[in-house]
Amino acid sequence: MENYSNVFIFDHPLIKHKVSILRDKNTGMKQFRELVEEITTVMTYESMRDVELEAVEVETPLEKTVQWRVPEESVAIVPILRAGLGMVNGVHKVFPTARVGHIGMYRDEQTLEPHEYYCKLPEGIRDKTVFLVDPMLATGGSACDALAALKKRGCKHIKFMAIIAAPEGVEAVAKAHPDVRVYISTLDRCLNSSGYILPGLGDAGDRLFGTK
């Protein structure tokens, strides 16, 4: 895979440890959900290194001092339904006041093409840093369409986060949206003929919500 200036693939020992448990077919729903949340929290810290801060005056027990904070109401989280819901709490641990929108995409089982069926976003989202989240980046179709939907609604500062990604999906998103920073915890080998990531971890939505 080519190197793209807007793609960041983590090489963090703690993430590697947690992903190894996440992949295991014997990992139960509760632990799977907790791991997705924990990995997302680590990724959120890393992906906010370039965030803009504002100066605020704080009074300590000893004196007044100027400190730096992320502006209130400056972050929004948009999960791609349904698996993206599993990552929301991971971002909320860092930004508990972040508003949450939702984008619903489904994939045609024959063509593998994504289709939008739902979009509800917080008021004023165009001025916020938006975290678009989905645990799996496979073909990249859903992510590309969701990013296009956010841009159509005025969003200018978007970060996309996925836990497991295939090279095909990373390349698709990087080329279609070079202005979006793409954060991947783990880059896998390839897609199979059914569009699943290998070695992957199966269907993230099913494993998060116990639907299979």
Q: At what angle do helices 13-23 and 29-47 cross, to 10 degrees?
A: 150
The single residue of 23, 99, 107, 126 carrying the catalytic annotation is 107
* List 27, 127, 181, 203, catalytic entry: 203
For 166-187, give the secondary structure using H, E and C: CHHHHHHHHHHCCCCEEEEEEE
186 a catalytic residue: no
Amino acid letter, 20? S
Query: Measured between alpha carbons, how far is residue 137 from residues 58, 80, 164 in Å?
Result: 42, 11, 6
What's at 18, amino acid-wise?
K
Q: Is 206 a catalytic residue?
A: yes
Catalytic residue among 11, 49, 50, 111: 111
For 27-63, the DSSP string reads --HHHHHHHHHHHHHHHHHHHTTT---EEEEEE-SS-
Measured CA angle at 140 (ends 139, 144), to 5 deg: 150
- Residue positions annotated with a catalytic role: 107, 111, 203, 206
